[in-house]
Amino acid sequence: MYTRIISNISTFCSRASTIRHYATNSKYLRFVPTSGEYPKGFNVGGIHCGVKKDGKSLDLALVTSELPCSAAAVFTKNVFKAAPVLVSRAMLNERKGKGVRGLVANSGCANAVTGKGGIEDAQAMGKLVDQMVGEEQASTIVMSTGVIGQRLPIKKILDGIPTAFTKLGPSHEHWLNTAKAICTTDTFPKFVSRSFKLGGSDTEYRIAGMAKGAGMIHPNMATLLGFMAMDVPVAPDALQRILTHAVERSFNAISVDGDMSTNDTVALLANGAAGGEEIQPGSEMEIILQDIVTKFAEDLSKLVVRDGEGATKFVTVTVKDAQSFEDAKQVASTIARSPLVKTALYGRDANWGRILCATGYSGVTGIVPEKTNVSFIPTDGSEELKLLVNGEPENVDEERASQILAMEDLEIWVSLGSEGGKEAAYYTCDFSHETENIAREKAFDL
């Protein structure tokens, strides 16, 4: 990960105090579902409790399950872990992923680098939810996102939780409001739902999830909160394996600006309300469900990149023919977070040398220069534009390249020629003038 040095410590900010308002144009509204299929036994909702100072934006999200859940989570690797990260991780370890009843999240204040008081605030949020669902032992995941270094207006949150509890429900509108309540600089609420069947079973299961994030997006993990819930019966150990695998290929495979936050959390709850035999670690059903959850997490995480601060393009970097998945992902990550590559994409400059340069300094061994290939893949179904073939530059049609780079969606293919046959994808966006402006604005907000 490269380091950006600016006059303020913006790399430690989970979210600036500036709130970008939801987009009203079709570019973003097309990503917001108007209906959905939601898992049984979950009640959700979002309200305004006063963390955000505009007096109206939803800022408190609450999720409860009628049945005890198996739970899994993946947290930020930033050394400065926020209080809710520490509290939630301790709760899950204590319970060994069993008997979790819900989740509470606030937006507008990160409760990060807030000392002992911040820990107490996060614990108080979880404890009140526990009481509302009738649990004596800690059973609630806690999340926060917003400005770092400030204490939560905890009285407003604690006063708001009972109100939120009375307004919970299972409808599409309830899920939409929950997704809105975790947003900060997002321009649209990000949530997805779908139904599926496992193996030859006739039982229909459902999964729903939401995420927030638009800047400071880079693993491990990005500045995001992510939450998924499903009504499949899954043993806790299997659920953690499923989530870890899925996150490695989704939320840990996205980058907007290369910065890692203090609050990042992705959680997965499974309450088994739809019935069926509990899925165990190492079973065939675990692998089937793992693929379903991974694809779902990929789709959800892509929405975060699409809403990248200042972004004009959604870019998939696919690296093929590596000796391992890890090698392929490392190369794809290096390309995806290269400032030179990202600015070239914004400028519609087919400078494949920047892509090749990033590939070369990725630190991956086994790359065969004389067998390396680079192409642009149009998303309109037209023919790929080959830039480098077996280490030799192609005579690139600049007009055709400019047409491809003008598209909102773009894919870059790089083949390493190692004959290992492994591949990985990474999702990123371009760097625009607006990216710089937003970064500067956020720095002053600190």
Contact 282, 378 (CB under 8 A): no
> Scanning the structure block, which residue is given the tokens 């990503």?
31
Buried b (16+ CB within 10 A) or exposed e, 16-48: bbebbeeeeeeebeebbeeebebbbbbbbbbbb
Within 8 A by CB and 6+ apart from 403, the residues are none
> What is the DSSP secondary structure assignment for residue 97, as one 8-state letter?
T
CA pair distance 148, 282, nearest whole angstrom:
40
184 is catalytic: no
CA pair distance 120, 14, nearest whole angstrom:
20
388 three-state secondary structure: strand
Sheet holding 314-322, edge to edge: 254-255, 422-429, 314-322, 409-415, 373-378, 385-389, 392-393
CA pair distance 195, 187, nearest whole angstrom:
27
> Scanning the structure block, which residue is given the tokens 């090698």?
327
CA pair distance 292, 307, nearest whole angstrom:
24
DSSP H or E segment with residue 322: strand 314-322
Contact 88, 71 (CB under 8 A): no
Within 8 A by CB and 6+ apart from 140, the residues are 91, 100, 101, 102, 103, 104, 125, 126, 127, 129, 130, 133
Of the listed 64, 76, 223, 372, which one is catalytic? Answer: 223
Tally: H helices and E strands in the chain: 12, 15
Question: Cis (ω within 30 of 0) for the bond into 91?
Answer: no
Alpha-carbon distances, residue 283 vs 237, 270, 328, 434 (angstroms): 12, 17, 27, 48
> What is the DSSP secondary structure assignment for residue 390, as one 8-state letter?
T
Which of 378, 354, 230, 211 is closest to 290 using CA atoms?
A: 230
CA pair distance 111, 97, nearest whole angstrom:
24
Backbone φ/ψ region at 187: left (φ over 0), alpha (ψ -120 to 50), beta:
alpha
Strand ranges inside 404-443, DSSP E: 409-415, 422-429
Residues identified as active-site:
223
